[in-house]
Amino acid sequence: MSVIVKICGLSTPEMVDAALNAGADMVGFVHYETSPRHVPLDVAASLSQRVGDRAVKVLVTVDMADMALAAAVAAVKPHALQLHGHERPDRVSAISGRFGLPVIKAIRIGGKPGDIGRISSYEDVADLLLFDAAPAADGSGLPGGNGTSFDWTFLPALNLRTPWLLAGGLRPDNVGEAVMKAGAYGVDVSSGVESGPGIKDAGKIAAFVANARAAAKALG
């Protein structure tokens, strides 16, 4: 079995190099000013050039309007878009059609009855799904990157048609278990490989990638 590994929230050349040297398949640049991992477009463009074609470059946005999104795509030239807000299925479909790029749609999983029910409505409009833990109910959390997890053991039973990435609370010490028990197509990490908010740790990145690969190999 193979597993896709995505390192998200990269904001410096050193972080990009650490992810690439570790063998990450996908790297994410967050353009969302509220996030501690936010990168301005000129910085994101420079980091994107540094990556080249060594990994899939993902531009992460949250409920961005068309004009702003078009400017971001033109500057960063990503290989894929990640929509991490409240984008409805018709909005996801419209963005996919307008930009002609693969779209990853993040779906927040928490304690609400409708969380799981919403998944099927995105299967025909997104190229990849990403399951992340919902932020705190009091509104104190960010759309993603909060370092919290959810009960992902139910995911294999969904038999989804669309490939999916698992996120939320993953770290080097638990990513192997997540790969083996959740049966994810891929895993995504941001805060779980940081030494502080927005500050990636090269050693943790390397360990995360290695442990994910080892678990996938053990599954055959």
Q: What is the DSSP string of 160-188?
A: -SS-EEE-SS--TTTHHHHHHHH--SEEE
Q: What is the DSSP string of 31-90?
A: --TTSTTB--HHHHHHHHHHHTTSSEEEEEESS--HHHHHHHHHHH--SEEEE-S---HH
Q: Residue 21: what pLDDT? A: 98
Contact 24, 54 (CB under 8 A): no
Q: How many helices (H) and strands (E) does the chain have?
A: 7, 10
Domains of the chain plus CATH, in order, are 4-196 (3.20.20.70)
Phi first, then psi, for residue 203 (nearest 5°) are -65, -40
pLDDT beneath 50: ranges in the chain:
113, 136-141, 144-145
Q: Residue 176: what pLDDT? A: 94
Phi first, then psi, for residue 80 (nearest 5°) are -155, 160
Q: Residue 112: what pLDDT? A: 53
How confident is the model over 9-55, as pLDDT tens digits? Answer: 999 999 999 999 999 999 999 999 999 999 999 999 999 999 999 99
Taking CA atoms, 177 is separated from 160, 180, 184, in Å, by 20, 5, 11
Token couple for 56: 């899939």
Secondary structure element (H or E) that encloses residue 217, with its range: helix 202-218
